[in-house]
Every structure is written in C-alpha cells, then in structure tokens.
A and B are shown apart, each in its own frame.
Chain A
C-alpha cells in the first residue's frame, strides 16, 4: 500500500521533510541499493504502485516517450540507492517525485528545447469561460465547459500542457497528474508555496488559452457554434 498520509507535512520545511537532496541525483550520496531483501521488497511495492503516474509525469516533463522511460528508470534507481534515507511512514510519493523532478532538471532540462513552446504572455482570468460565452455557447447549455471539454481528448490536452513554459509545465504536471497540494509541490520542487500558487494559477490560464486555440484550430469551436446555431 502506498504511504500517502502527510503527518506533519504541512508544518515541515521543504528540505527537512523529504530528507533527500540534489546530491542524491548527482550520485554523491546513497550509492548503495536497498540493503536487505525486505527493504527491496518494500521499495519495489511502493514504486510499482506509482509507476503509471510516474510515467505520465515523466512524459509531460520530457515530452518524449523514450526519454520518459529513461527518466523513470533513472529516478527509480536513484531512489533505490537512497531508500535508506526515506523515512518510513512519510510521504513516499512526494519523496519519489522529488527525486524524479531533480533527475529531470539535472539531465533533460539542459537539452535544447524541442517542440513548440508558447509565449509567456498574460492571459485573462476565466479565459475559457469568457471565450465560450462570447461564442454563444452559454446560451443554451447549463454546462458549457462540458461542451468544449468533451471534444478535447487526452492527447490534445497533453499537447497543450507540453507547450507550457518549463517552470509552469512542471508545476502543472505535478498538479494535474499527481493531484499534489500546493505544499507538496513546494516540497517536491523546493520552492516557496507562493511560487507554486502563482505558477499554477498563471499556468492554468495559459493552458486554457492553448486549449481554446487548439479547439479553434481543429474546427471544434466552429462545429459547436454551428450546432448551437442549428439548434436555435
């Protein structure tokens, strides 16, 4: 079973609670794999339970399936070597994702950015809400968000997240895929909670703009507005 309870997490400092540092990623400490067979079994059980979500997270961090597999493997091996420093009963998920994101920053972020990254321009609050209202999609539906979101599949949403600027993409990925709280994201990334909040709120607005743009580019908006017009 994954140990997800957060005893004391909200009171702990970012560096103290997770008990691991960038040095682990650099291989400075924790060079021994889990010591005993029971340690290894315990670690593997915790790890396997996180594997799907670790892969999804890595996929949006690296934007590449092969790199995502490599990142998960790198993080898993680093975590195995540092498992002795993991405090039993604390938040394994946050501990592991701190290692994974450190590994990402250490290895992949240095690479030349690939793919399209959107410009970091200010996007108004409630962007999708205002756009769908302006398109007349609120007039006849009690659930205008569903009208648009039902037309956007996971691949398209993933494309929009992948286009976010790095700092916003990392926070958004931990938020949307791991469902971490602001405090947990702050601990994983070793940044202040206020920074998490501002990046997440702004990142969500940028993401909404990207989703609306994709919906326009794919003809989804036209189809929805024509359908509404036809219904009227």
Chain B
C-alpha cells in the first residue's frame, strides 16, 4: 500500500484481509490499518477473535500427538546401518 493509499479501511476491506492478518502476512501499513479498524469496530473484532480462536485451537489440539518411541529408535538404527556402522 503506497503513501497515497487509504488512511482507513472499511469493514469489507478488513474482511478481505482477515485471513492474511491472522497469518501475519500483511504489510506493515496494512497491518496498522487493520489493527486500527479492529480497535473501533466491534463486529469485525468479534469475527477476528472467533477466527483466531478456531485456528489456534486446531493448532494446539493437533500438536498433542507424538511420534511412537520405536520410530526414533528404528530411524537412528537405520541411519547408523546406512553409514556402515553401529553409530
């Protein structure tokens, strides 16, 4: 967004940037404009809170599965074998 760009965003413009905002994919200037809008628009702020919560919950719950202990042991053994020795 250039220096000649908008100084404020509409709800529709924020809506179109919400995914990128949540993912930290906006430019610094766009980020500032979206943050400014969210501070003053309860409806957009509500949508943002909702979407952010859904994404963070999905991330958090998917991170609870660990690799089976045997995978690490088997893998290190195979790597050692490939190098031609017991490690």
Contact = CB atoms under 8 A, between A and B. Distances in A.
Partners in one complex: yes
Interface in A54-112: 54-56, 59-60, 65, 69, 72-73, 76-77, 80-81
Given A52-B66, A69-B68, A80-B82, A126 B75 contact: no
Contact of A143 (B25, B51, B53, B75): B53
B25 to A, nearest CB: 6
A33 B67 contact: no
* Interface hub of B46, B66, B67, B82 (most chain A Cβ within 10 A): B67
A201 interface: yes
B49 interface: yes
A103 B58 CA distance: 26
Contacts of B58: 149, 157, 176, 207
A56 B63 contact: yes
Nearest to B83: A33
Given A33-B83, A177-B63, A179-B59, A76 B19 contact: no
B39 interface: no
A117 B56 CA distance: 24
Interface string B72-87: 1011101100110000
Given A34-B83, A149-B54, A154-B64, A73 B59 contact: no
Name B's interface SS.
helix
Nearest to A36: B83
Nearest to A72: B71
A73 B54 contact: no
A145 B57 contact: yes
A136 interface: no
A73 B74 contact: yes
B29 interface: no
A177 B74 contact: no
Interface residues of A, number: 51
Nearest to A58: B67
B65 A154 contact: yes
A145 B82 contact: no
Contacts of B13: none
Contact of B62 (A126, A138, A177): A177
B66 A144 contact: no
Interface of B: 15, 19-20, 23-25, 46-47, 49-51, 53-55, 57-59, 61-68, 71-72, 74-76, 78-79, 82-83
Given A176-B59, A176-B62, 11 more contacts: A40-B83, A52-B67, A55-B65, A77-B82, A80-B79, A126-B50, A143-B49, A157-B58, A161-B62, A182-B25, A197-B25
17 contacts: A33-B82, A44-B76, A51-B71, A53-B63, A73-B78, A76-B75, A77-B78, A129-B47, A129-B51, A146-B53, A152-B57, A157-B58, A157-B61, A177-B62, A181-B24, A181-B25, A200-B23
